[in-house]
Copies of this chain bind each other. A is one copy, B any other.
Amino acid sequence: MKAKSRKKSRANGRGRKTSHPGKEDGVSLYKRIKIDVTRMLSSGDISPQDPLPTEKQLAARFEVSIGTVRRAMDDLVAEHIVVRQQGRGTFLAALSPERMLNRFWPYFRQDGVRVIPIVQTLSFEETRADAETAEALGLRKGDPTYRIVNVLLMSGNPVILDEINLAKKTYSGLNEEDLVARETTMYGFYQSHFGINVFRVLDRMHGALANEWSAERLGVELNTPLLSVVRIAYAFGNRPVEFRKSLIRTDAYEYRNAIGGEIRVD
């Protein structure tokens, strides 16, 4: 019976054969769409405030069914690359509130409350990459960089000392005025002023001691144990866009990492 099989479906008569999964390159259609859409986003052509092409448009552009587009988009949603809203459209996830305030901010008060810090900029300077920064940002030693030192206050107390290193060529024109005047997080600032979307970070944790410099600024005794976090933030294509070294007082606050997801209710 049936034998109807591939009705017409695609414009071209050949009919794709559905699989032999990847046609020319051995990749399934929905994965190809994921790659292409991600490339679209990384190109910077898409501003985070306006929507991506609709399902229908993508289906037409890639010559696949709506269902295949949805399969790809579902993956991108699960990976926090895009967010979708019924009736509105699909957007880059970079500016979603969850991402801005929660996703890359792992610091909690010890009772589990997430505290939003107040940032004080201690210094802003143009300098040159040391070996460590060059390695992290994919630069050559001596390449021009910006270095920003911030103190983050939680409930009025200094808790985190941040040293942020940025490649000058990536953030050309950065100046202290814009920086301190920003109304958002650093990652939101990168987005709005430079079109850089942080979508992944890698944190490396060590134990450390307060030296004279950090002890004074964090208001602790010399040799107080601190948590050291070295972070590299990546944009699409795993392009490193920020190298940050943090020292954290963990007497009242802590770094939390939930492997396997936060408490789900579903």
B254 adjacent to A227 (CB under 8 Å): no
**B225 touching A209, Cβ below 8 Å:** yes
- Pick the residue among B200, B227, B263 that contacts A207 (CB under 8 A): B227
What 1/0 flags go to A171-215 for Cβ under 8 Å of B?
A: 000000000000000000000000000011111111111000000
Q: A78-B78, A238-B263 are in contact. Are A256 and B207 (CB under 8 A)?
A: no
CA distance A35 to B260 in the complex (A): 16
Write out the residue numbers on chain B whose beta carbons fall within 8 Å of the beta carbon of A202.
256-259
With known contacts A200-B261, A227-B227, A259-B103, A254–B31 Cβ distance under 8 A: no
Taking a contact as CB atoms under 8 Å apart, the answer to whether B207 and A208 are in contact is: yes
15 A/B residue pairs, CB under 8 Å, sorted by A: A34-B266, A35-B266, A78-B78, A79-B261, A79-B264, A80-B260, A103-B260, A104-B260, A108-B204, A200-B261, A202-B258, A205-B254, A206-B255, A207-B224, A225-B226
Q: Does A223 contact B (CB under 8 A)?
A: yes
A266 to B80, CA, bound (A): 15
* A257-B203 contact given A208-B225, A263-B238, CB 8 Å threshold: yes
Interface membership of A250, Cβ < 8 A: yes
The 10 closest A-B pairs by CB, nearest first: A200-B260, A206-B250, A207-B225, A205-B255, A207-B227, A207-B226, A78-B78, A203-B257, A257-B257, A209-B225
Q: How far is the CB of A31 from chain B (nearest CB, A)?
A: 6
Instruction: Give bound CA distance, A259 to B201, whole Å.
Output: 5
- Contact between chains at B205 and A31 (CB < 8 Å): no
Q: Which residue of B lies closest to A107 (CB)?
A: B205
Determine if A248 is an interface residue (Cβ-Cβ < 8 Å). Answer: yes
A94-143 residues with Cβ-Cβ distance < 8 A to B are 103-104, 106, 108, 110
Whether A74 sits at the interface, judged by CB under 8 Å, is yes
Check B207 against A106 for contact (C-beta < 8 Å).
no
Most buried by B among A38, A224, A248, A259: A259
Question: Min CB distance, A215 to chain B, in Å?
Answer: 13
Contact with B along A34-48 (1 / 0, CB 8 A): 110010000000000
Evaluate contact between A207 and B248: CB separation under 8 angstroms: yes
**Given the contacts A201-B260, A260-B200, A206 and B223 also touching, CB distance less than 8 Å:** no
The reply to whether A104 and B255 form a contact with Cβ atoms under 8 Å apart is no
Kindly list chain B residues whose C-beta atoms are within 8 Å of the C-beta of A224: 207
In whole Å, how far is A85's beta carbon from the nearest beta carbon of chain B? 16
Instruction: Pick the contact of A256: B106, B199, B203, B261 (CB < 8 A).
Output: B203
- Alpha-carbon distance A35/B255, docked complex (angstroms): 30
